[in-house]
A and B are shown apart, each in its own frame.
Chain A
């Protein structure tokens, strides 16, 4: 079966750095997506990785290792507004997104 694993919840301090991990087992691979979802709102697109390596976008970076079935989202200089759930999703061989349950990130002052 297809499976996406990510931690249920993480806590970090304002101004710090946090890394949210995602491991996956899917039928084929056509890219990995990270989305941010604030409580009661829609998921919003953060990043896309299809090749191995690090993609940097401002305070957010995303890393992919296809051989290990592993990705992480790195958030730097954490702000209170970063408190949200972060969803990892893999596009499988049929170009359908398989979603993890999400990681709830709590930022403390």
Chain B
């Protein structure tokens, strides 16, 4: 099993450009989520999904869109990149609700917006 796979690992964007960060998991997990981590900080939740076709906003959703058409994939779209979106982005998945199950994280996508 590959676990949670994120692509790309690194990306540089110009202000105003759009792009999609890819996240795929092969563990048949229902729950998937996107976090961002700024220097010296903990992770903050952007969007999450509790199953295919169901998504909702997290703590810092502005400037990002998500969709979940399959169980395996949960892409994160930046609509119009801004320097404030420079961060490391992590995708996570878990079998059930986070309380009683463990979450698996990808290795991250390091995004720089210039």
A and B part of one assembly:
no
Give A residues with C-beta under 8 Å from B.
none
B interface with A by C-beta (< 8 Å): none
